[in-house]
Chains A and B, each alone.
Chain A
Amino acid sequence: MRPASFRHHPARSVDEALTLLASEDEDARILAGGQSLVPLMNLRMAQPSALIDINGCDDLGRIDEAGGWIEFGARVRQREGELSTAVRARLPMVAAALELNGHPATRHRGTICGTLAHADPSAELPAVAVALGAEMVLRRQGACRIVPAEAFFLGALETCIEPGEMLAAVRFPVQPARAGWGLAETGLRRHDLALAGIAVAMLPAGVTRICAFGITPEPLRLPTLEAAADDLPRSGGTPATQARIAEALAADLEGADLVDTLHASARYRQQVTATLAARALADARQRASQETAT
């Protein structure tokens, strides 16, 4: 389990990285933390022709807060985001998602943009990005486009990043005061990849955004459940509430391509997603009311 050969291009800036990317063939990849890419390379399931190494790009290493957004450059490590006081205060669900992602040793290297670009169905951060309405900053030499998180994820390990393009940054709208959030997941072990999970963002104006992960190849917004969320009784967990959530979820999953693996069937994933949704909604409500109180 050792990787095949590749051309290695260290870049010192994002512009240099984009130039190098433009000069390489379609199989070139960006190397940031490598925590998702290198395992695939060691297994020789990924054999990129070239790696554009952005670890030397200091201009991609910043967490910037401006205009109601917090933006993470492509080299910002997950651990940096997790421990950032700005993130913990104003994007608490992002900090919580990062804590659930891998382990300290992988978060020290792995980047926030890297886990988004990898688009693993069991990962928390893509769903959190969708729930929070994050935006992806995609750049290629001489061009830049902004893609909402919801349009970014196309499937398992599949995004709308095109050849020659890189995810240069991701930005999250700062959560207003009195916003609530809930993040619930379950795995086979206590600290494990999620078999299913739910991210809930509850905005003060009565807007609730809910996104599931682990159950479909890409993070899935749940509009029916979102619409029903406001009407659900405040105390979650009663059979009646559960039934309503399950019903709404079933409507949202109608025709969806459900993940079905040896570790958990699609049926199980759907079943627990409903109960996880109840938990995440309850957490979000409770946090929203706490925020009001303070």
Chain B
Amino acid sequence: MTDTPPDANAADRRLLRTTVNGIARQELVEPRMLLSDFLRRTLHLTGTHVGCAHGVCGCCTVLVDGATARACLTFAVQVQDREVQSVEGLGEDPIAAALRASFHECHALQCGYCTPGFLMAARQLLSETPEPDEETIRVALSGNICRCTGYVNIVRAVRHAADSLAAARDQQQGLSDAR
């Protein structure tokens, strides 16, 4: 926030040092500020959406030190000295890039509100389980709610991304074998 409202708790602000999408940040925050608000309101990174604010819908999923976490259930002060990645910071990540391409090609998003959270959950899955079967994908995505797609094309897109990443790995392997 640019303006500093004269509220009673102003005195209790903490200096938060954290890294968000690779950029070191220092901001004064109230302890009660949720990470979702820190990203959205303080840093203006509005790609992280809030769908329920009680940890059920998964829209606000971000990465803290590389692992998925609910930004609505994390206080900003809890990411002191940590690395946070939001959807805006996934640009170069190869798994995320494959997922974005597959989501587009497979029509795996409609309104797009839940999409950043699904990208995070799917990225977590593929980073641990590069070639998941359909059941594994469905279970791994069950912490995120989508109301538009019926999950059909999301599941297909994650499969598709896994396949394209595997093909890329095979190609890489072939190249290094040839050398």
**Interface locus among A34-42, A153-161, A228-236:** A34-42
Determine if A1 and B53 form an interchain contact, defined as CB atoms under 8 angstroms apart.
yes
Report A78 CB to chain B, min CB distance, Å.
Answer: 12
B86 beta carbon closer than 8 Å to chain A: no
**A39 cross-chain contacts in B, Cβ below 8 A:** 54-55, 73
Q: Given contacts A2-B53, A5-B9, are A51 and B140 in contact (CB under 8 A)? A: no
A5-B34 Cα distance, complex, nearest whole Å: 11
Known: A104-B140, A105-B61. A8 touches B9 (CB 8 A): no
Which residue of chain B lies nearest to A110 when distances are taken between CB atoms in the complex?
Answer: B73
Q: Find out whether the CB atom of A103 lies under 8 angstroms from the CB atom of B31.
A: no
- B109, CB-defined interface residue at 8 Å: no
| Most chain B C-beta atoms within 10 Å of own C-beta, residue among A2, A35, A53, A191 | A2
Q: Do the beta carbons of B12 and A7 come within 8 Å of each other?
A: yes
- Residues in B neighbouring A4, C-beta threshold 8 A: 32
Known A-B contacts A34-B75, A106-B70, A108-B67; the reply to A51 vs B31 at CB < 8 A is: yes
8 A-B pairs in the complex with CB atoms less than 8 angstroms apart? A2-B32, A5-B12, A5-B30, A38-B74, A102-B143, A105-B68, A106-B143, A108-B64
B37 touches A2 (CB 8 A): yes
Are the C-beta atoms of A53 and B78 separated by less than 8 Å? yes
Interface residue B157 (Cβ < 8 Å from any Cβ of A)? no
Nearest-Cβ distance from residue A234 to partner chain B, whole angstroms: 30
- Interface SS majority for chain A: loop
Min distance, Cβ A124 to any Cβ of chain B, angstroms:
16
Whether, in the assembled complex, A268 has its beta carbon less than 8 Å from a beta carbon of chain B, the answer is no
Chain A interface residue bracket vs B: 20 to 34
Q: Residues on A close to B: CB < 8 A?
A: 1-8, 10, 31, 34-35, 38-39, 42-43, 51, 53, 55-56, 79, 102-106, 108-109, 190-191
A38 touches B75 (CB 8 A): yes
Docked-complex contact A7 and B31, CB < 8 angstroms: yes
Task: Return the chain B residue nearest A191 by Cβ.
Answer: B142
- Of A6, A35, A39, A104, the most chain B CB neighbours within 10 A belong to A104
Query: Is the Cβ of A8 less than 8 Å from the Cβ of B14?
Result: yes
Q: How far is the CA of A38 from the CA of B73 in the complex (A)?
A: 5
Complex Cα distance, B125 from A1, in Å, reads: 29
Q: Which residue of B lies closest to A189 (CB)?
A: B142
B116 within 8 A of A: no
Give the docked Cα–Cα distance between A225 and B139 (Å): 33
Give chain B nearest CB distance to A66 CB in angstroms. 28
The CA of A2 and the CA of B179, in the complex, are separated in Å by: 57
Point out the residues of chain B lying under 8 angstroms from A104, CB to CB: 67-68, 121, 124-125, 140, 143
CA distance A103 to B53 in the complex (A): 16
CA distance A72 to B12 in the complex (A): 33
Q: Which residues of A contact B9 (CB under 8 A)?
A: 5
Interface residues of B in 125-152 (CB under 8 A from A): 125, 139-140, 142-144
| Interface set, chain B 1-20, CB cutoff 8 A to A | 8-9, 12, 14
Chain A residues in 8 Å Cβ range of B70: 35, 105-106, 109
Contact A1 B54 (CB under 8 A): yes
Bound-state Cα–Cα, A7 to B12, Å: 8
List of 6 A-B pairs having minimum Cβ-Cβ separation, nearest first: A103-B143, A8-B31, A105-B68, A1-B53, A39-B54, A108-B67
Min CB–CB distance B9 → chain A (angstroms) = 5
Hey, what's the 0/1 contact readout for B59-82 against A, CB within 8 Å counting as 1? 001001001111011110110100
Q: How far is the CA of A175 from the CA of B9 in the complex (A)?
A: 50
Contacts of A10 in B (CB 8 A): 77, 80
Q: How far is the CA of A201 from the CA of B51 in the complex (A)?
A: 39
Q: Could you tell me the distance between the alpha carbons of A104 and B69 in the complex, rounded to whole angstroms?
A: 8
Q: How far is the CB of A214 from chain B (nearest CB, A)?
A: 18
A108 and B34 contacting across the interface, CB-CB below 8 Å: no
Q: Which chain B positions have C-beta within 8 A of A108?
A: 64, 67-69
Q: What are the residues of chain B within 8 A of A55 when measuring CB–CB?
A: 78
